[in-house]
Chain A
Amino acid sequence: MTLLQTPVAPEKRSQARDEGKLEKATARRNRRTYLALLLPGLLGLLVSFVFPLAYMVRMSFNQGSPDGVIVETFTLDTYIQPLTDPYYWRVTLDTFQMGVTVGILCVLVSYPVALFLARSTSKWRGLLIAIAIAPLLTSAVVRTYGWMVILGTNGLINSSLDGLGLIDTPLKLTNNMTGVAIGLVEIFMPYAILAMISGFGRLSPQLEEAAGSLGASKFKVFTRVTLPLCLPGLLTAFLLVFVLSISTFITPRLLGGGSVQVLATEIYDQTTGLLNWPFAAALSVILLVLFGLIIAVYQRLTKKIGG
C-alpha cells in the first residue's frame, strides 16, 4: 500500500508533522482493514479446525466404556493402554513398515518419470506434467476401486495369468498388505513426482555433459552427478509419501478388506465398532505426534533445499 504513504515535503516542517499524524492514521486504518479481511477466515478455521482438534485432545484424557458412555475425567489410561498392549505396538509397527515400504517403492517408480519431466524440452512437457499430477484431483475411493478391479480374485491380473495357463489358483493380491501397498504406491505417485520436480532445481544437462566430456561413463555420470543432485528431491518425496501413507484410511480399508490393521483403520474401528471415543482420540494424538515429528524433519529439509 505504498500509495497511502503520501510523500513528505522536506521544505515544510509543520507539514511534515501533519504527515506523521496522517501516517499514523492510515496505519490504524490499514490495521482495521487487514483485520477485517482476515477475521472471517480465521473464525472459519477456528470452528472447523482448531476446536475439533482441541476437543479431541481433551477427549483423549477421558475414560471410555464399552457402551459408548464417556466419563469426564483426567486420566492417562487411554495412553497407557495402547503403549503397554503388544497389539497396538504391532499395529503401530505395521503402520510404520507400510509407510517405509510405500515410500521407497513410490520413490523408485516416480523417479524415472520425474527425471524425464525435469529434463524434457518437448512441447508436450506441460501436458505430460499435468497428466502425471492430475490423478491427485480424482477420488481416492475411485482409484482404490480401480485397483480392486485389477488385483481382485477375478481381476485383470488373475484372469490374465489364468487365461495364459500360468496359475491354477488365483494370486492373493487383495485383502492383504501387498494389495494395500500396490494401491498406495500408485495413489501417492503424483505427490512424489510433484515434490521431485520441485526438488530437482539444481539438476542441469550442462553438468552432466561436462562430466561426460571429461571422460566419465554414462553410469558414472548418473551415480556421481545426476543422482547426488536429485537426492534432496528424492528425500523430500520419500518423507511426503511416508507421512501420507501412515495416515491414510480409504485404501487400507478397501484393499485391506479388514485384514490389514494400521493406525487409521484402528481409529475407525474404535469409534464406529467399539464406540470407545477417548481411546480413539488417544490413538489419533499418537498418530498426530508421529506425523508432526516427521513433518518437522520434512519442513527443515525443504527449507534447506529451497535456501
Chain B
Amino acid sequence: MSDVKVFKPRFNPAKPAFGLLVFLLYLFLLAPLLIVFVVSFASNQYLSFPPEGLTLKWYEMLPQESTFMEGMKVSLIVAVIVTLIVLALGVPAALALDRFDFKAKAAVQSFFLSPLLIPSIVLALGMVLLFGPLELNNTYAGIIIGHVAITIPFVIRTTLMSLATTDTSCEAAARILGAGSWTVFRRVTLPIIQPGVIAGGVIAFIVSFDEAVISLFVAESGLPTLPVQVLRYVENSADAAVAALSVILILISLAVVVVVERVMGLRKALR
C-alpha cells in the first residue's frame, strides 16, 4: 500500500471543526483533574481566580496535616492487605473458571463479577448493619472485608483475560516432563498470566485506596480512610489545602494507569 499514491481530498472545513470539538470534550473530561493541579500551585490564600503567584506552601503543609497523614496510613494499610487478599482469592478462582469444566461455571463466573452491579451505597449499608453486632465497624477488618467484595471482580476479570489468551500446551509439556501441579502453576502458569495478575492487583489497590462510600459507612467515626478525610474536609471548605493532596492522589492513580496500560492495556482491563 505504501507506494500507492494517496488521493488527497479537498479541504473539508467539517474536519477541523470536529477535531476542535473532540479536543474541547477532552478538555471537559480532564477539567477537574487539571484545575486541581493549577490550584495546588496557586498562592491565593482563599480559593479564587486567577492565581496570584506560584507557591509550594500547600505541599509543604501536607505533612503537618495530621488528619490527612492518619488517613493516608489507614488507606495504605487497607489497600495493601485488600490487594493481597483478593489476589489470593481471585487468581485461583479465575484458574478454576478457565482451566476446568463444570456445570455451574457460567453462574459462578457471573457471581464473582456481580458485586460491580450492586450500588456501593447499598453494599455499604448492608455492611454497616451486619458489622454492628459483629463489632467490626471502625476496625481495619471491617473496612478490608468491605473492600474485598468490590475489588475481587477486577482481579477475576484481568486474570481470566490473561488465561484466555494463553494455550495450555506449555503446562501440558511441563506435566509430561514430570512437574507436579504446584510446580506447573508456579513455574509455568503464573509467569504466563503475570500481566493479568499485576493489572488486577494494581486496579484492586487503587479501587480500595480511593473507595469512599463503604469506608464512610463502616468507619467514619473511628478509622477514617484518606478519601473519607478528604470528603469531610471538602464538605466544610473548598480551599486550596486539599488540592495538593488531590494532586498526590491523582499521581498515584496515574502510576496505576501506566502500569495497567503497559502490562495489558487499560481498555481491555476495565471493560
Q: Among the listed B49, B122, B230, B260, which residue makes an inter-chain contact with A288, where contact means beta carbons less than 8 Å apart?
A: B122
In the complex, how many angstroms separate the beta carbon of B74 from the nearest chain A beta carbon? 15
Q: Which of A13-21, A78-86, A127-135 contacts B (4 or more CB under 8 A)?
A: A127-135
In this complex, what residue of B is CB-closest to A299? B117
Q: How far is the CA of A141 from the CA of B249 in the complex (A)?
A: 10
* Contact, CB under 8 Å: A45 / B29: no
* Contact, CB under 8 Å: A247 / B230: no
Interface-central residue, B47, B121, B127, B231, by most chain A CB under 10 Å = B121
Task: Count contacts between A and B, CB distance < 8 Å.
Answer: 275
Residue A48 CB within 8 A of the other chain: yes
In the complex, how many angstroms separate the beta carbon of A72 from the nearest chain B beta carbon? 12
* Contact, CB under 8 Å: B28 / A109: yes
Query: Known interface pairs A156-B49, A272-B220. Does A249 touch B152 (Cβ–Cβ under 8 Å)?
Result: no
Residues of A contacting B95 with CB < 8 Å? 37
* Contact, CB under 8 Å: B89 / A41: yes
* Contact, CB under 8 Å: B115 / A49: yes
Residue A9 CB within 8 A of the other chain: no
- B103-159 at interface with A (beta carbon < 8 Å): 108, 111-112, 114-115, 117-123, 125-130, 145-149, 152, 156
- B203-217 at interface with A (beta carbon < 8 Å): 203, 206-207, 210, 212-213, 216-217
Q: Which of A189-197, A200-208, A227-235 contacts B (4 or more CB under 8 A)?
A: A189-197
Q: How far is the CA of A156 from the CA of B21 in the complex (A)?
A: 21
Residues of A contacting B35 with CB < 8 Å? 146, 149-150, 156
* Contact, CB under 8 Å: A133 / B270: yes
Residue A177 CB within 8 A of the other chain: no
- A115-158 at interface with B (beta carbon < 8 Å): 116, 126, 129-150, 152, 154-156
Residue B161 CB within 8 A of the other chain: no
Q: Among the listed A51, A160, A268, which residue makes an inter-chain contact with B130, where contact means beta carbons less than 8 Å apart?
A: A51
Q: Among the listed B171, B210, B267, which residue makes an inter-chain contact with A130, where contact means beta carbons less than 8 Å apart?
A: B267
Q: Among the listed A48, A146, A248, which residue makes an inter-chain contact with B36, where contact means beta carbons less than 8 Å apart?
A: A146
Residue B166 CB within 8 A of the other chain: no
Residue B6 CB within 8 A of the other chain: no
Q: Among the listed B25, B86, B175, B243, which residue makes an inter-chain contact with A149, where contact means beta carbons less than 8 Å apart?
A: B243
Q: How far is the CA of A1 from the CA of B257 in the complex (A)?
A: 35
Query: Known interface pairs A45-B149, A142-B36, A145-B238. Does A247 touch B99 (Cβ–Cβ under 8 Å)?
Result: no
Residues of B contacting A44 with CB < 8 Å? 85-86, 89, 148-149, 152
In this complex, what residue of A is CB-closest to B12? A218
Q: Digit string of A85-110 for contact with B (CB within 8 Å is 1, else 0)?
A: 00000000000000000000000011
Q: How far is the CA of A40 from the CA of B86 in the complex (A)?
A: 10
Q: How far is the CA of A266 from the CA of B176 in the complex (A)?
A: 61
Residue B55 CB within 8 A of the other chain: no
Residue A59 CB within 8 A of the other chain: yes
Residues of A contacting B123 with CB < 8 Å? 49, 52-53
Q: How far is the CA of A2 from the CA of B172 in the complex (A)?
A: 8
Residue A173 CB within 8 A of the other chain: no
* Contact, CB under 8 Å: B246 / A146: yes
In this complex, what residue of B is CB-closest to A41? B93
Report whether over half of chain A's contact residues are helix, strand or loop; otherwise say mixed: helix
Q: How far is the CA of A55 from the CA of B99 in the complex (A)?
A: 34
Q: Among the listed B22, B33, B85, B111, which residue makes an inter-chain contact with A135, where contact means beta carbons less than 8 Å apart?
A: B33
Residues of B contacting A54 with CB < 8 Å? 126
Residue B56 CB within 8 A of the other chain: no
Residues of A contacting B238 with CB < 8 Å? 145, 148-149, 152
* Contact, CB under 8 Å: A159 / B49: yes
Residue B263 CB within 8 A of the other chain: no
**What 4 A-B pairs are tightest by C-beta distance, nearest first?**
A146-B32, A247-B119, A52-B126, A41-B93
Which residues of A are interface residues toward B (Cβ below 8 A)? Answer: 1-3, 30-31, 33-38, 40-42, 44-45, 47-49, 51-56, 59, 109-110, 112-113, 116, 126, 129-150, 152, 154-156, 159-160, 163, 183, 186, 189-190, 194, 197-198, 218, 247-250, 253-254, 264, 267-268, 271-272, 277, 280-281, 284, 287-288, 291, 295
- Listed by A's residue number, 25 A-B pairs whose Cβ atoms lie within 8 Å are A35-B96, A37-B100, A41-B152, A49-B114, A49-B115, A52-B127, A53-B122, A55-B126, A130-B267, A133-B267, A138-B249, A139-B227, A139-B230, A146-B36, A147-B32, A149-B32, A149-B243, A160-B49, A247-B122, A249-B213, A280-B125, A281-B129, A287-B121, A287-B122, A291-B122
Which residues of B are interface residues toward A (Cβ below 8 A)? Answer: 14, 18, 21-22, 25-26, 28-36, 39, 46-50, 85-86, 88-90, 92-93, 95-97, 99-100, 102, 108, 111-112, 114-115, 117-123, 125-130, 145-149, 152, 156, 168, 171-172, 175-176, 181, 203, 206-207, 210, 212-213, 216-217, 220, 227, 230-231, 234-235, 238, 242-243, 246, 249-250, 253-254, 256-257, 260-261, 265-267, 270-271
